[in-house]
Structure formats: C-alpha cells, structure tokens
Structure 1
Amino acid sequence: MALMDWLRQRLSGNEKAELVVDSEEGVLAGLNLKQVLDAHTAWKTKLKNELDGKGKESLDVSIIAQDNQCELGRWLHGPGKLSFSHYPEYHSACTAHSEFHFCAAEVLMQYQAGAPAAAEALLKGKFRQASNKNQLELVRLFVAARKPT
C-alpha cells in the first residue's frame, strides 16, 4: 500500500518522500488525496511569494483562516463527516486542517502588520509543522478508512 509506505517514510523524518497513489487508493468518498495535498502544499509557495513581494493573487486573511473554504475543508465538513466522523483519525485530520489554515493566516497577518521577519520565521517553523501534520493526519484517515473491518 503506497499510502502506508509514504506515511512510514514521513514519520521516520523523510520530508521529501513523494506520495504516489493509484486512482483507487487515492480517492475516498469522492475526495482525491493527491489533489488536496498538492493544493495545501502550494500554500507554502503562495505565502513565500507574498513575503518576497512576488504574490500574484490577493490573499485575504479572513478567508485563509477558515478551514471550510477549500476542497478538503468542504469535504471534511460534508461527505467526510457523514462517512468518517466515527473514526478518531477523522477528528485528528479536522484539527490538523484547521490548525494549518489558522497558521497560514497567521503568517500573512504578521506580514501585513509590518513584521516580515516574524512572518518568515512562522513560515519556516510553525507553518511547516502544521503543513506536515495536515498531510500526515489526512493520510492516516485514508489508511484507517481503508482497513478491512
């Protein structure tokens, strides 16, 4: 199972492990794991570009902070909740996802408040940790939901 291999590598500290999943393994109740992970990984680039003055899109802290505005958030609060809320991994994924969005908003707030060094430190520290946890908890949910009962 590619998900388990990736999860083991990430938990052992290999942050560069690449997630490769087949089409069946990578979709859960209509959610494409690779697509939502890629979308959340792209936030690091968006935020870094903003901090470097190269941002090409208007970023709104009040929207970024909400965990129900992206595809994953809509799924977690909708079909994912209906199908998987009885799993502890579901609740861990929700918490990690919410923390990810809060942290992304915090980076942008620091930058907009005129504290680019603090924003950069958050991006490289707390945001990176939140991003990694968001990915890991979502994969854990996928793995748990696929275990035969």
Structure 2
Amino acid sequence: MKKIIFVVVVSFVLYACGVKPQSTASYNYRITKIDSIENTYLVYAEKVDINIKNTAIIKIASAKAKTNCDRKNLITVDKNYKLKPISLYPKNLVSHNLRGITYNGTLVPFDRDYNIKKDLFITENLKGLCYKK
C-alpha cells in the first residue's frame, strides 16, 4: 500500500511541476516548398501528423549565410525534420492590416493562400538551408 501511495505522490509531483517528455518539445515537419526573398530563405513546412495535407502550412525564415554544410545535412522538399518553430508575430497585436513581418532586414509578406498561416517562424534547427539536430 505504501508503494502505491508513493508512486501516486511522485506522479502527481512530476505532473504538477510540468515535467514533460522531451519528445513533445519538437514536432516532425514535412518540408513542402523552399523559396527565397532577398537575403532570406523561406521554408514551408507542415506537421507530419496532419489529417488533411496542405491545410496548416507554416513559413519558416532562415537567413542566407555561408555555411560549411555537408550535402547530407541540407534540407530537401518532401523530407521530414524535427523542428521547434518560434513565432515572430508581434505579441498582443490585433491588426487585420498587417501585410508581413520584417526578418533579417527584409519584409516577408504573408501569402495569399489561406492554407498558409499568417505568421512567420524561425527555428534553431536551421542555419541557411543546413539542418542541425
């Protein structure tokens, strides 16, 4: 009986402290398109576990930089990667007239396609088009 109470108390403490498995910190994304604008790469990605394809695409910005990236580490379309996207959309801003977000000195306009979220993301996993685990 003491063992059961101990397990229940430890489980409750871990849950209350917000300890979560590491696997929930990032998600698998499938790269759908790679584009560029001035000095910025634009990587379009969607979660792998999405039910209807091409309905929740995000746009990730990555600065064009010279990297010593191996060919095997370059991201490619239709492959899956673990990414941790971070939104650049201004917090507490309620505006329907926002045309885009400035990143790396370039205004990145929102896409007219309704399937692409009206937001711009960055991730620590990309440097240029080089994928870092």
- Short-chain TM bin: under 0.3
Larger-Rg structure: 2
Report the structure, 1 or 2, having the larger strand content: 2
> Which of the pair is proportionally richer in helix?
1
